[in-house]
Amino acid sequence: MVNGIGLHGLEKAARMSAALDASSDHIVLGAEQVGWQDPGDVVDTMYYALPPSVDLHNVNTALSRKHAIQTCMDLSQPGDTTILLTGINKPKHIQGKVVPHDDKEEIHYYFSCSSSRSM
């Protein structure tokens, strides 16, 4: 999962995507801390900056960190060795609003919904 941080400018988001390679089974591009940037613009910038070696069929996008985490979890399979999250637990700044966020809570919520669906 790679998140473009709109507060740092679209150029940095593009550089992050350009540094990816084709070794991942799945890539999730997400928008985070967008400030006044449109989340779609952040994700589009990242998508179009991907190197040609990346198979676009393996790329998913999410307009928020929350949805990026959910997408990563949905794509994971038994036997996968790594899902890397940085443990962000600070509010996000989106269009002038402060939105609470905690990676651990999102993961707990994901599994609580998953277990209730499988019953």
Say yes or no to pLDDT of 119 above 60: no
CATH code assigned at 38? 3.90.190.20
In tens, the pLDDT along 56-101 reads 999 999 998 888 888 888 888 888 766 555 656 677 777 788 888 7
Q: What is the arithmetic mean of pLDDT over 22-48? A: 87
Residues 69 and 9 sit within 8 Å (Cβ to Cβ): no
DSSP states along the chain: -EEEEGGG-HHHHHHHHHT--TT-S-EEEEEES-BTS-HHHHHHHHHHTS-TTS-GGGEEEESSHHHHHHHHHHH--TT----------S-EEETTEEE---HHHHHHHHHHHHHHH--
Position 6 scores a pLDDT of 62
In tens, the pLDDT along 7-30 reads 667 888 888 888 888 888 889 998
* Position with higher pLDDT, 92 vs 47: 47
Rounded Cα distance, 37 and 94, in Å: 8
Name the band, by pLDDT with cuts 50, 70 and 90, for residue 49.
very high
pTM above 0.85? no
Query: Could you count the other beta carbons within 10 Å of the beta carbon of residue 4?
Result: 29
Say yes or no to pLDDT of 118 above 60: no
Domain count, the chain: 1
Domain ranges, residue 40: 2-117
Show the tokens assigned to 51.
């190197």
Residue 3's DSSP bridge partners are: 30
